[in-house]
């Protein structure tokens, strides 16, 4: 209960920060997008979103938290665009956040309010979203796509991943979980699985992003097997909005 109260306080006083991890497009060699990741530093040290997101959900704070994330992410996107770097910002949504009835309206209103093109907003969902009411999830996804958003399936390959999801839902991007990346290239099973996932995705016209790329060797491997983009400590750690802009200036 102490932590929940602190979280409520932190949301009210706008103490949560967003950092942005850039991704490298392996075809163009440029930064095309960045994932927004939420950070909460308390006086007792940082608390992981894996802890405070579920807490916010249980404590009725998730809407306020999610609106704050969207606002910050879109503000950052507007800052990058104003500096002629029109890169896409990717925001994570928990299954519960995705199930909010007025999600599409809230997103539309926020992009409008901040003057950001919905084409520059990507949402990352996990397969937990898709085990809910299939028809309503499909409707929401198509409405988001109609707006112009990109939809990424996060953590792909873990949990109950099913290739059927790729057929039944309008997924634009597959984010391959770092569990399949971290033992590349030694692990021959992971080499086979990665090549197969990327092959299926390409055949379906779905972009692939490899997560958790930590070495040059892994980056080279991803390029070689036809992965579209990489994200991970090898290329860049998550950065605050201004540091990301500085990073782009040095890189592009
Ligand atoms: O970057 P980090 O390792 O702290 O992220 C841990 C987990 O928290 C990841 O699964 C990530 O998707 C999730 N996460 C980070 N930021 C957000 C956010 O703004 N909203 C939601 N729903 N999840 C987030
Ligand atoms: O679940 P999701 O994919 O949204 O979470 C991404 C998480 O991975 C974040 O917590 C982020 O900080 C972390 N991350 C990003 N790059 C790397 C990396 O190269 N190695 C590891 N171990 N974690 C990473
Ligand atoms: Mn993610
Ligand atoms: Na992931």
Q: Are strands 150-156 and 121-125 parallel, antiparallel or unpaired?
A: parallel
- pTM for the full predicted model: 0.97
Q: Is residue 73 in some structural domain?
A: yes
Tell the residue nearest (CA) to atom 12 of ligand 1. 92
Q: Tens digit of pLDDT for each residue in 18-51?
A: 999 999 999 999 999 999 999 999 999 999 999 9
Atom of ligand 1 nearest to the CA of 124: 12
Handedness of CA 212, 223, 207, 244 (dihedral sign): positive
CATH code, domain carrying 32? 3.20.20.450
By residue range, what is the domain housing residue 147? Answer: 21-36+61-251
- Ligand number with the minimum distance to the CA of 21: 2
Q: What is the pLDDT of residue 162?
A: 79
Q: Is residue 70 in some structural domain?
A: yes
Question: What residues does ligand 2 touch, defined as CB less than 6 Å away?
Answer: 21, 37, 92, 154-155, 178, 211-212, 214, 232-233, 238
Give the chain's residues under pLDDT 50.
none
DSSP state for residue 239 in the 8-state scheme: B
Q: Is residue 15 in some structural domain?
A: no
DSSP state for residue 152 in the 8-state scheme: E
Q: What is the pLDDT of residue 132?
A: 84
Q: Is residue 96 in some structural domain?
A: yes
Q: What is the pLDDT of residue 98?
A: 96
Handedness of CA 19, 23, 28, 32 (dihedral sign): negative
Give residue for tokens 């605050």: 240
Mutate to test the pocket of ligand 1, among 20, 35, 37 (most ligand atoms within 8 A of CB): 37
What is the whole-number distance in angstroms between the Cα of residue 101 and the centre of ligand 2? 29
Q: Is residue 182 in some structural domain?
A: yes
Cα–Cα distance between 133 and 136 in angstroms, integer? 6
Q: What is the pLDDT of residue 160?
A: 73
Record the tokens describing residue 103, joined without a space: 């999600």
What is the whole-number distance in angstroms between the Cα of residue 176 and the centre of ligand 3? 10
Q: Is residue 42 in some structural domain?
A: no
Give the number of domains in the chain. Answer: 1
> Cα 126 from chain centroid?
10
Q: What is the pLDDT of residue 159?
A: 77
> What DSSP line would sit under 88-103, residue for residue?
EEEEE--HHHHT-TTH
First to last CA, the chain: 46
Q: What is the pLDDT of residue 119?
A: 98
Q: Is residue 41 in some structural domain?
A: no
CB 100 within 8 A of CB 60: no
Q: What is the pLDDT of residue 54?
A: 97
Q: What is the pLDDT of residue 164?
A: 85
Tell the residue nearest (CA) to atom 15 of ligand 2. 232
Give residue for tokens 């665009």: 81
Q: Is residue 234 in some structural domain?
A: yes
- ipTM of this complex prediction, to 2 decimal places: 0.97
Cα–Cα distance between 94 and 92 in angstroms, integer? 7
Q: What is the pLDDT of residue 32?
A: 96
* N residues, the chain: 252
Mutate to test the pocket of ligand 2, among 212, 214, 230, 235 (most ligand atoms within 8 A of CB): 212
Mutate to test the pocket of ligand 1, among 56, 72, 92 (most ligand atoms within 8 A of CB): 92
């Amino acid at each position: 209960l102490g932590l929940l109260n602190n979280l409520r306080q932190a949301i009210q006083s706008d103490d949560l920060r967003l950092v942005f991890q850039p991704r490298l497009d392996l075809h163009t060699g440029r930064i095309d997008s960045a994932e927004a990741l939420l950070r909460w530093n308390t006086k007792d040290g940082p608390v992981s979103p894996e802890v405070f997101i579920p807490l916010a959900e249980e404590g009725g704070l998730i809407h306020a938290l999610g609106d704050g994330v969207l606002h910050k992410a879109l503000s950052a996107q507007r800052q990058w665009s104003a500096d002629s770097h029109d890169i896409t910002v990717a925001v994570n949504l928990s299954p519960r956040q995705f199930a909010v009835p007025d999600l599409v309206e809230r997103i539309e209103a926020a992009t409008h309010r901040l003057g950001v093109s919905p084409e520059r907003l990507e949402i990352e969902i996990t397969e937990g979203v898709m085990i809910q009411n299939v028809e309503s999830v499909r409707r929401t996804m198509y409405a988001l796509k109609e707006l112009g958003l990109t939809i990424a399936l996060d953590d792909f390959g873990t949990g109950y991943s099913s290739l059927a999801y790729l057929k039944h839902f309008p997924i634009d991007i597959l984010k391959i979980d770092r569990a399949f990346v971290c033992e590349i290239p030694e692990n021959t099973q992971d080499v086979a699985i990665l090549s197969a996932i990327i092959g299926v995705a390409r055949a379906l016209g779905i972009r692939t992003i490899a997560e958790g790329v930590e070495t040059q060797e892994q980056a080279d491997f991803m390029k070689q097997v036809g992965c579209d983009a990489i994200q991970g400590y090898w290329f860049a750690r998550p950065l605050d909005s201004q540091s990301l802009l500085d990073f782009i200036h040095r890189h592009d």
